Amino acid sequence: MFQYIKDLFQKPEPVLEPKSIFVGLIGGVGDLVLAAPSVAALKKKYPEAKLCFGVGDGIFYATIKNDPHIDRIETPFFYNVWKDRERRKMENRKMREFDRVILLDNSTRDWWQEGKHLIDIYAEKCGVELETRRPAIYLSNEDKTEGDRLLRQAGFEYGDKLIVISPEVRSKKEVKEWPQHKFMELLKRIKGSRRIKIISFVSASGPDQFPGVATFRDTPIRASAEIIRRADFFIGLDNGLTHIAASFDVKMLSIHIGFPVECCGPLSPHASLIAHEPFCDPDSISVDEVYAKAKELLDSHA
């Protein structure tokens, strides 16, 4: 009990010129790629400091695995981000090991009401200024090789126009997902007489395969990123793959449902959005509306 109380209230003084920095983020894939520019800026600000990043395992670890600005990854990293006592305890514990501790997770579910974008929230918490307000993910040669293999498996041939879709979110589905039957109708219209190859990335329990679409389930995140990087066009929701697409120079369309666009919309000069008011009924966005924008973008890229 004594040690527990000590962990809560005995907070070491921060070091002005840190030699070791701990950054923790128990977020999704989108959160992680949006935090990556702040990690790079931290490393630039304190080039002599060893930077440790605490993250969940599996897909979350895989997302940041190749980040060259991170010296060490602690995984699985977890604490209850919604409880102030747990946050203080974790921060104090880490400050006994590191000169600087930065916990990036928002401590309230109403974080979005301030109207700040996540990328700016992370930069503010890290005490850095970003040279570029775009997400980042770092791919290896192995990721590119796996991307090639998957494209061959999907029957992709030279001259095909490649469209990648991400029709699913991993959390808050009832708030952020566009109805699957509307996605199906959209793809039927897009294919038309065009010479197009469409690839869809979904989870193991994701939506059924769309007709005429090569569907990949639980694909390694960085291999998925490599295929998105090579695509002509990307269509997604407010999810991790959409933020990954925003890190590349691929033309993209986000059907943004749920949280306000100014808080978590894709940050890319090549991004277009379809969005109504925050937390609108997903069914209120029509296929006609989305197809009109998609056709405009595809025609301009012909």
pLDDT in tens, 154-205: 888 877 889 999 999 988 888 999 999 999 999 999 987 567 899 999 988 8
C-alpha 139, offset from chain centre: 15
Burial of residue 85 (number of CB atoms within 10 Å: 0-12, 13-18, 19+)? exposed
Tell me if 138 is assigned to some domain. Answer: no
Q: What is the number of domains present in the chain?
A: 2
Boundary of a domain, candidates 126, 156, 189: 126
* Together in a domain, 152 and 265: yes
Structure tokens that stand for 168 in this block: 């699913």
What integer pLDDT is reported at residue 13 of this predicted model? 63
Q: Does residue 266 lie in a domain region?
A: yes
Output the pLDDT for position 235: 97
Amino acid at 83: K
In a domain, 176, yes or no: yes
For 150, the domain range is 145-300
Give the pLDDT of residue 184: 92
Whether 286 is covered by a domain: the verdict is: yes
Closest CA to 163 of 190, 193, 134: 190
Look at 176-190, 196-210, 259-273, 280-294 and tell me which has the smallest mean pLDDT: 196-210
- 150 and 121, same structural domain? no
State residue 199's pLDDT score: 94
Q: Which residue has the tokens 């401590």?
A: 107
Which band of pLDDT confidence, cut at 50, 70 and 90, is reported for residue 7?
low
Q: Which residue has the higher pLDDT, 78 or 5?
A: 78
Mean pLDDT in residue range 219-242: 96
Q: What is the largest CA-CA distance in the chain?
A: 72
Question: Which range among 27-31, 146-150, 296-300 shows the weakest confidence by mean pLDDT?
Answer: 296-300
With bands split at pLDDT 50, 70 and 90, how would you rate the model's confidence at 17? Answer: confident
Q: Tell me the pLDDT band of 97, cut-offs 50, 70 and 90.
A: very high
**Nearest in space to 259 (alpha carbons), one of 289, 245, 239:** 239
pTM strictly above 0.85:
yes
pLDDT at 134 over 70: yes
Mark whether 164 and 268 lie in a shared domain.
Answer: yes
Which ranges constitute the DSSP H helices of the chain? 2-9, 29-45, 59-64, 84-95, 118-126, 141-153, 173-176, 180-191, 221-230, 240-246, 261-264, 287-300
> 294 pLDDT exceeds 90?
yes
Residue 133: inside a domain = no
Whether the per-residue pLDDT at 208 is higher than 80: the answer is: no
282 and 191 share one domain: yes
Q: What percent of the chain has pLDDT over 90?
A: 77
153 with 88, same domain?
A: no
Strand bridging mode 161-166 / 196-202: parallel
Phi and psi at residue 165, to the nearest 5°? -120, 150
Q: Please indicate, yes or no, whether residues 266 and 210 belong to a single structural domain of this protein.
A: yes
Is 135 part of a structural domain of the chain? no
Q: Is 92 exposed, middle or buried (CB count within 10 Å of its CB: 0-12, 13-18, 19+)? A: middle
Kindly state the helix (H) or strand (E) to which residue 22 belongs, with its residue range: strand 20-24
Q: Mean pLDDT throughout 222-236?
A: 96
Higher pLDDT: 211 or 139? It is: 139
Q: Coil, strand or helix: which one is 32?
A: helix
In a domain, residue 131? The reply is no
